[in-house]
């Protein structure tokens, strides 16, 4: 098939860093608006670390204060010329801009500077492509890459951009020379576009079926009523390290940005409140384009559907606050900002004096080191406490043929008292809210009160009134 040529092992060739060790120059516009969370130097430092993660060598950086980016060349004319001169002096291969450029800006800047120009988005996509290990991750990256590439297709190949007129050339034009190249070139562009569009449609279909499978798995988990804790955080905060430490699952850890693209889910048992599912997720980063968030929807749905968020913050990073705020902004965008949150203030082993960590800046914050294990018990206890707020006190009498429910109560709930009675096992303690329906018919506390309650008293009362009616 034709389409197979653009995809090796189901993924597109990288957009940017075909060769390792390219020399990159970085540039940013300091757009100078008051509500900017990140200052330009910190953002450039992060861009440098992204560039190195992608395998480039950073040979210099430059920023320009502008009220807003130049619509034609992104940077102002003077700065663009300066970059052209620097290109002669430093012989860099690649200019990376710290924001998403319009396709025309990218093209124009390439003309002026005389070097290849890419933007932050392309760089992030490149790193994503290098780190997508599962089929799903690869599909998501390829979709994001193709959607990024489609509007930029015209810009590839200077000869083509000078061609005016109709888009359909004669398929059988001559060979060498502008005229001969023009027709077939234009046709090729059309073919490329069409091929990309149909691949995008195919990828969307495949991802939709991935989403459906995930949805099914979540519903099964829902039926088992195991609470889901999603590990979220800025890229490189230590999510996978923490996840590994807590689950001993052996998830890939790398000192690189975006080492994790595919969520991994494992059971863990909290010291106080039974079993939860812990799920590792992709890291967030500032200026993550919305189109990319959309491509990663299947992965991010794990976050959207989670009961509790465990945010990992690299508290030793000088931009810890900005990073955490960025995470909150993305969560907001996903509609997951108001979920209960526990914060692991990570990497305290790097601090001379861990007691200086200010836990008041983050919700339910616990200083930890995922590396050494320090503070992890306290973290799980705190997680249990937050979980407990979702727990409901229950007193049940389980018939002797329902040993399965006795076990479930122990595993998912919190048992305070257990007694063998003539009719069955009496358990007193707390159960997670979603399990109440299962235990409803055996509850001693609710059976008594729900008869007296008006049907609309509480949601809980309502559920049990329904449950009792159904079982009687």
- Name the site residues for ligand GDP (rule: CB under 6 A): 233, 235-241, 253-255, 259-260, 283, 312, 346-347, 349-350, 369-371
Find the shortest distance in angstroms from Cβ 238 to ligand GDP.
Answer: 3
* Secondary structure (3-state) at 340: coil
The smaller minimum CB distance to Mg ion, of residues 52 and 193, is found at 52
* Secondary structure (3-state) at 244: helix
Q: Which does 347 bind (CB under 5 to 8 A by kind): ligand GDP, Mg ion, none?
A: ligand GDP
Find the shortest distance in angstroms from Cβ 216 to Mg ion.
Answer: 25
Find the shortest distance in angstroms from Cβ 243 to ligand GDP.
Answer: 7
The smaller minimum CB distance to ligand GDP, of residues 2 and 254, is found at 254
By beta carbon distance, the residue nearest Mg ion is 260
Q: Give the span between the Cα atoms of 63 and 70, in whole angstroms.
A: 13
The smaller minimum CB distance to ligand GDP, of residues 238 and 274, is found at 238
Q: Give the span between the Cα atoms of 56 and 75, in whole angstroms.
A: 22
The smaller minimum CB distance to ligand GDP, of residues 30 and 349, is found at 349
* DSSP secondary structure of 380-430: HHHHHHHHHTTEEEEEEEEETT-HHHHHHHHHHSEEEEEEEETTEEEEEEE
Find the shortest distance in angstroms from Cβ 342 to ligand GDP.
Answer: 16
Instruction: Report whether 99 contacts 126 (CB < 8 A).
Output: no
CA 197 to chain centre: 25
Q: Which does 350 bind (CB under 5 to 8 A by kind): ligand GDP, Mg ion, none?
A: ligand GDP
- In the range 224-253, which residues lie near Mg ion by CB under 5 A? 239-240
The smaller minimum CB distance to Mg ion, of residues 316 and 438, is found at 316
Q: Which does 12 bind (CB under 5 to 8 A by kind): Mg ion, ligand GDP, none?
A: none
- In the range 258-287, which residues lie near Mg ion by CB under 5 A? 259-260
Q: Which residue has the tokens 């203030």?
A: 345
Element (H, E) at 356: none
Residue 356: count other Cβ atoms within 10 Å of its Cβ: 10
Q: Which does 236 bind (CB under 5 to 8 A by kind): Mg ion, ligand GDP, none?
A: ligand GDP
Report the alpha-carbon angle 352-357-363, nearest 5.
155
Name residue 57's beta-bridge partners.
23
Residue 470: count other Cβ atoms within 10 Å of its Cβ: 10
Q: Which does 141 bind (CB under 5 to 8 A by kind): Mg ion, ligand GDP, none?
A: none
Find the shortest distance in angstroms from Cβ 384 to Mg ion.
Answer: 24
Residue 168: count other Cβ atoms within 10 Å of its Cβ: 10
Element (H, E) at 459: helix 459-471
Q: Which does 120 bind (CB under 5 to 8 A by kind): Mg ion, ligand GDP, none?
A: none
Q: Both tokens of residue 293?
A: 């968030």
The smaller minimum CB distance to ligand GDP, of residues 263 and 283, is found at 283
Instruction: Provide φ and ψ at 97, rounded to 5°.
Output: -95, 140
The smaller minimum CB distance to ligand GDP, of residues 257 and 336, is found at 257
Find the shortest distance in angstroms from Cβ 265 to Mg ion.
Answer: 14
Residue 170: count other Cβ atoms within 10 Å of its Cβ: 11
Q: Give the span between the Cα atoms of 105 and 111, in whole angstroms.
A: 10
Q: Which does 430 bind (CB under 5 to 8 A by kind): Mg ion, ligand GDP, none?
A: none
Find the shortest distance in angstroms from Cβ 240 to Mg ion.
Answer: 3
Find the shortest distance in angstroms from Cβ 53 to Mg ion.
Answer: 13
The smaller minimum CB distance to ligand GDP, of residues 82 and 349, is found at 349
Q: Which does 235 bind (CB under 5 to 8 A by kind): Mg ion, ligand GDP, none?
A: ligand GDP
The smaller minimum CB distance to ligand GDP, of residues 123 and 181, is found at 123
Q: Which does 54 bind (CB under 5 to 8 A by kind): Mg ion, ligand GDP, none?
A: none
Find the shortest distance in angstroms from Cβ 382 to ligand GDP.
Answer: 17
* DSSP secondary structure of 13-82: PPSS-SSTT-EEEEEEEE---TT-SS-HHHHHHHHHHHHHHTT-EEEEEEEEE-SS-BTTTBS-HHHHHH
Give the footprint of Mg ion on this chain (CB under 5 A).
239-240, 259-260
């Amino acid at each position: 098939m034709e389409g197979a040529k653009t995809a090796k092992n189901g993924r597109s060739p990288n957009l940017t860093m075909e060769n390792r060790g390219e020399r990159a120059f970085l540039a940013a516009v300091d757009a100078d608006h008051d509500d900017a969370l990140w200052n330009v130097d910190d953002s450039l430092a992060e861009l440098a670390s992204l560039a190195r993660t992608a395998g480039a060598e950073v040979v210099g950086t430059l920023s320009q204060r502008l009220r807003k980016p130049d619509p034609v060349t992104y940077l102002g004319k003077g700065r663009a010329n300066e970059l052209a001169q620097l290109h002669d002096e430093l012989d860099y291969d690649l200019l990376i801009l710290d924001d998403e450029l319009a396709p025309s800006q990218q093209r124009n800047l390439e003309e002026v500077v005389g070097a290849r120009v890419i933007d932050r988005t392309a760089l992030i996509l490149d790193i994503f492509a290098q780190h997508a290990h599962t089929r799903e991750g690869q599909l998501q990256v390829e979709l994001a890459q193709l959607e990024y590439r489609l509007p930029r297709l015209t810009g590839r190949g200077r000869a083509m951009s000078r061609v005016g007129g109709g888009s359909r050339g004669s398929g059988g034009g001559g060979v060498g020379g502008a005229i001969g190249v023009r027709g077939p070139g234009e046709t090729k562009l059309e073919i490329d576009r069409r091929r990309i569009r149909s691949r995008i449609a195919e990828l969307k279909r495949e991802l939709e079926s991935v989403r459906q499978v995930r949805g099914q798995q979540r519903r099964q988990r829902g039926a088992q009523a195991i609470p889901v804790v999603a590990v979220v955080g800025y890229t490189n905060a230590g999510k996978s390290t923490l996840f590994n430490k807590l689950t001993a699952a052996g998830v890939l850890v790398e000192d690189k940005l975006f080492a994790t693209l595919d969520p991994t889910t494992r059971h863990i048992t909290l010291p106080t409140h039974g079993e939860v599912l812990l799920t590792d997720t992709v890291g967030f980063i500032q200026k993550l384009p919305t189109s990319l968030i959309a491509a990663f929807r299947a992965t991010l749905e794990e976050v959207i559907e989670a009961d509790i968020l465990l945010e990992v913050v690299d508290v030793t990073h000088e931009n810890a606050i900005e990073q955490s705020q960025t995470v909150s902004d993305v969560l907001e965008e996903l509609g997951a900002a108001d979920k209960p949150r526990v914060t692991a203030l990570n990497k305290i082993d790097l601090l001379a004096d861990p007691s200086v960590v200010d836990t008041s800046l983050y919700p339910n914050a616990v200083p930890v080191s995922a590396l050494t294990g320090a503070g992890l018990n306290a973290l799980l206890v705190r997680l249990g406490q937050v979980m407990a707020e979702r727990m409901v006190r229950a007193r049940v009498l389980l018939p002797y043929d329902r040993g399965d429910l006795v076990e479930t109560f122990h595993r998912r709930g919190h048992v305070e008292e257990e007694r063998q009675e003539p009719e069955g096992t009496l358990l007193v303690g707390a159960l997670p809210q979603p399990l109440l329906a299962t235990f409803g018919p055996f509850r001693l506390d609710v059976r008594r009160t729900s008869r007296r309650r008006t049907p609309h008293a509480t949601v809980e009362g309502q559920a049990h009134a329904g449950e009792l009616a159904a079982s009687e």
